[in-house]
């Protein structure tokens, strides 16, 4: 082949690759209502769809009741493939061993605290026995070698034959995993990696890196909320320093900036049977699998009805993923002064839930119109800070007998993600119900207190707060694909370069 022919061949390859870049096929995964929020109610799919063909695999799309939610999205939407769990031996046992080794090497405060207060009492003895070998491997600094071998082993286990068939048929250029810490999505990630398809991971929340189980596969790139999340990622996943990491902001909060979801206080109160002229206290309850926070909400409901906070009213908001409907009977007696929201379809599995526009509107306006927000170390403190609403944060276990008092103190004062927030001065830490009442009364009288600190918290956790995070996500995926395509082109050019004979060589 002559030099001219080589150049022509390379040019043709470049043209084909460039055309492929302009017609990229992107597959985006969703197995959580939080990812659904981004896909359905931000500019993410619209922005991505302007430059690429987009397919979504979503758990919620498998249900007839949710099909209308997806009908107007700019994507081909399909149900999520069937996924089976790893076998306990050797796969899950080695995963736990790997996590223990990393914990001993890097001493992550959040995970060590969870082990001390919760997990060591609940895991089987066979898992606890792995901590001895893990300590030895950590002393040998073997964590990276172990994780490389574990990755190879886990990739060999077919958790979703259906996903393999569908990936071969679709042939996406990039897979976006929005739940790299969840049960289902790593199965599709494994199938994609075995097929040579690049995978970009969104770290879906600010606490995931320091609190969740380790991501079990390496990714070709990441999207994160903020510089702080990027720093955590580099610390706990050293290989991430060598791949693209895009800071895109917290796209789930884009809806806070969309006027179409903003109701007047009068309309919001009418929907809830509240009086717009009276203060609204929002008590947001977290996961019941973590702490029994409803005891604190019950105590505050009693005090509101008794008049300890003046002529005030309260909304109790369950966590939308964990709302199981069980609090309805408990709070019925306090109505209408205390209203319990229903944030989820309680008959559905947590990973099959989604939210329609009415539920999004209720979420947004609950925090827009709150006068004070009470919580126990949860992300709703960020919801409140974005809207500049005063935050009261429990620094005690509200359950009778306080069985988890040490855990609560750790969350607020040692956990990687929450310690900077709890100790920033942006929220009022309270040590008992009487202090909670005093803090709420003070904030109702002086809502301007700690305003600058709240602004810092919102920006520290979320990065840019301009309602454009979904757009930045789309731009990041397209840039990631372009970089991969250009690297492929460069490799093609190198492979096509004519070989120069060494001096003195003969024909």
What residue ranges do the domains of the chain occupy? 3-85+159-253+467-496, 88-153, 259-462
pLDDT > 90: what percent of the chain? 86
**317 φ, ψ to 5°?**
-115, 110
Residue 388 has pLDDT above 70, yes or no: yes
Burial 102-138 (b: 16+ CB within 10 A, else e): bbbbeebbbbbbbbebeeeeeeeeebeebbeebeebb
Q: How far apart are CA 430 and CA 440, in angstroms?
A: 10
Residue 350 is encoded by which pair of tokens?
Answer: 């947590």
Taking only the tens place, the pLDDT of each residue in 276-288 is: 999 999 999 988 7
Which pLDDT score is estimated for 15?
44
Q: How far apart are CA 465 and CA 451, in angstroms?
A: 16
Q: How far apart are CA 400 and CA 8, in angstroms?
A: 78
Residue 175, CA distances (Å) to 195, 240, 441, 475 in order: 11, 17, 49, 15
Taking only the tens place, the pLDDT of each residue in 401-448 is: 999 999 999 999 999 999 999 999 999 999 999 999 999 999 999 999
Residue 57: closest CA among 351, 350, 346: 351
Q: How far apart are CA 226 and CA 459, in angstroms?
A: 8
Residue 129 is encoded by which pair of tokens?
Answer: 């026995």
Sheet holding 428-430, edge to edge: 338-340, 313-317, 280-284, 372-375, 391-394, 428-430
Average pLDDT score over the chain: 93
Do the domains 259-462 and 3-85+159-253+467-496 match in fold? Answer: yes
Q: Which CATH fold would you assign to the domain 3-85+159-253+467-496?
A: Rossmann fold (3.40.50)
Taking only the tens place, the pLDDT of each residue in 311-331 is: 999 999 999 998 988 899 999
Cis omega (within 30 of 0) on the bond before 90? yes
Residue 330, CA distances (Å) to 295, 302, 312 in order: 10, 11, 20
E strands within 74-133? 76-79
Q: What are the start-end ranges of the H helices in 275-356?
A: 294-306, 328-331
Residue 341 is encoded by which pair of tokens?
Answer: 């929201």
Residue 288: closest CA among 330, 326, 316: 326
Residue 171 is encoded by which pair of tokens?
Answer: 């042939």
Q: How far apart are CA 279 and CA 270, in angstroms?
A: 14
Query: DSSP state, 280?
Result: E
Tell how far CA 368 is from the center of its chain.
22
Residue 304 has pLDDT above 60, yes or no: yes
Which pLDDT score is estimated for 22?
59
User: Cβ–Cβ contacts within 10 Å for residue 256, how many?
Assistant: 18
Residue 17 has pLDDT above 70, yes or no: no
Question: Average pLDDT for residues 293-311, to the nearest whole number?
Answer: 97
| CATH homologous superfamily for the domain 259-462 | Glycogen Phosphorylase B; (3.40.50.2000)
């Amino acid at each position: 082949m002559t030099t001219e022919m080589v150049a022509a061949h390379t040019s043709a390859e470049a043209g084909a690759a460039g055309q492929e870049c302009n017609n990229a096929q992107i597959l985006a995964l969703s197995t959580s209502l939080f990812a659904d929020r981004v896909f359905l109610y931000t500019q993410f799919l619209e922005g991505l769809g302007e430059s690429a063909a987009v397919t979504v695999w979503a758990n919620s799309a498998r249900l007839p009741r949710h099909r209308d939610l997806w009908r107007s999205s700019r994507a081909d939407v399909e149900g999520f493939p069937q996924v089976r769990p790893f076998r306990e031996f050797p796969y899950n046992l080695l995963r736990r061993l790997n996590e223990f080794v990393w914990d001993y090497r890097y001493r992550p405060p959040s995970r060590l605290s969870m082990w001390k207060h919760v997990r060591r009492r609940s895991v089987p003895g066979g898992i606890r026995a792995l901590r001895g070998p893990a300590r030895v491997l950590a002393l040998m600094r073997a964590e990276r070698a172990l994780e490389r071998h574990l990755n190879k082993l886990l990739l060999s286990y077919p958790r979703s034959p259906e996903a393999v068939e569908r990936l071969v048929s679709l042939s996406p250029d990039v897979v976006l995993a929005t739940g790299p810490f969840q049960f289902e999505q790593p199965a599709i990630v494994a199938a994609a990696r075995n097929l040579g398809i690049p995978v970009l991971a969104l770290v879906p929340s600010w606490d995931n890196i320091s609190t969740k189980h380790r991501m079990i596969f390496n990714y070709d790139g990441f999207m994160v909320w903020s510089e702080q999340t990027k720093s955590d990622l580099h610390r706990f996943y050293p290989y991430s320093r060598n791949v693209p990491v895009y800071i895109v902001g917290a796209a789930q909060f884009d809806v806070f900036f969309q006027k179409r979801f903003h109701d007047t206080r009068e309309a919001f109160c009418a929907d809830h049977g509240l009086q717009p002229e009276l203060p609204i206290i929002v008590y947001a309850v977290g996961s019941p699998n973590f702490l029994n926070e409803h005891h604190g909400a019950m105590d505050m409901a009693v005090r509101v009805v008794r008049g300890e906070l003046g002529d005030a009213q309260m909304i109790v908001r369950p966590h939308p993923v964990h709302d199981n409907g069980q609090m309805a009977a408990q709070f019925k007696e306090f109505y209408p002064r205390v209203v319990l929201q229903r944030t989820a379809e309680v008959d559905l599995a947590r990973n099959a839930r989604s939210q329609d526009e009415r539920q999004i509107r209720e979420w947004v306006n609950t925090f827009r119109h709150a006068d004070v927000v009470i919580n126990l170390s949860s992300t709703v403190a960020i919801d409140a800070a974005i809207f500049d609403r005063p935050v009261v944060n429990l620094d005690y276990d509200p359950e009778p007998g306080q069985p988890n008092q040490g855990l609560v103190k750790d969350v607020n004062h040692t956990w990687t993600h929450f310690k900077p927030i709890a100790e920033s001065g942006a929220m009022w830490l309270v040590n008992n119900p009487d202090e909670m009442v005093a803090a709420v009364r003070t904030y109702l009288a002086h809502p301007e207190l700690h305003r600058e600190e709240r602004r810092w918290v919102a920006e520290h956790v979320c990065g840019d707060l301009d309602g454009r995070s979904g757009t930045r996500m789309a731009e990041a995926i397209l840039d990631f694909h372009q970089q991969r395509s250009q690297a492929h082109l460069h490799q093609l050019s190198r492979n096509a370069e004519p070989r120069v004979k060494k001096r003195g060589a003969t024909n």
